């Protein structure tokens, strides 16, 4: 079935009815996984699968991008059953300050548990 709609130049152009009522594509659900390691390092997994190890400044940058995308934060911490050190506390404070929804994960990402010498960053080539 066809319908007609008038473009700006007033000529009639055929359009399928289904095209008129198509649901607008929702943006991909954005998420940012953040893991705070006991040694102060921060492990990030971006919504597109990229993984990187960074520091507090890198976390600030990642949180700014997540905020711009309206992302949800997925959070875990090394040794959650113990009291965190002051460096971890100070780093953690950045997360709720971003004003994004936060979901606490019971189990960390497997790569987040890698010893310092075996940590790796996986980024897509542009």
User: 74-110, pLDDT tens digit by residue?
Assistant: 999 999 999 999 999 999 999 999 999 999 998 999 9
Residue 126 pLDDT grade (very low, low, confident, very high; cuts 50, 70, 90): low
Helix, strand and coil content of the chain, in percent to the nearest 5, comes to: 30, 25, 45
Distance CA 83, CA 80 (A): 7
Q: Does residue 25 register a pLDDT over 50?
A: no
Which two tokens mark 65? 């991008």
* Segments making up each domain of the chain, as ranges: 31-118
pLDDT in tens, 42-54: 999 998 899 999 9
Find tokens 């473009």 and name the residue: 7
Which CATH architecture best describes the domain 31-118? Answer: 2-Layer Sandwich (3.30)
Report which of 29, 25, 27 is spatially closest to residue 46, judged by C-alpha positions: 29
Mean of pLDDT over the chain: 83
Res 2: pLDDT: 44
pLDDT at 32 exceeding the cut of 50: yes
61/94 Cα distance (integer angstroms): 11
């Amino acid at each position: 079935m066809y319908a007609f709609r008038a473009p700006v130049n007033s000529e009639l152009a055929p359009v399928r009815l289904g095209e008129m009522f198509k649901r607008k594509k929702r943006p991909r659900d954005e998420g940012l996984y953040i893991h705070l390691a006991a040694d102060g390092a921060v492990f990030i997994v971006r919504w597109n699968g990229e993984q990187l190890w960074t520091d507090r400044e890198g976390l600030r940058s990642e949180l700014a991008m997540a905020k711009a995308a309206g992302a949800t934060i997925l959070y875990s911490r090394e040794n959650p059953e113990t009291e965190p050190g002051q460096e971890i506390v100070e780093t953690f404070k950045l997360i709720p300050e971003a004003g994004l929804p936060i979901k606490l994960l019971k189990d960390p990402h497997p790569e987040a548990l890698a010893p310092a010498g075996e940590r790796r960053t996986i980024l897509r080539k542009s």
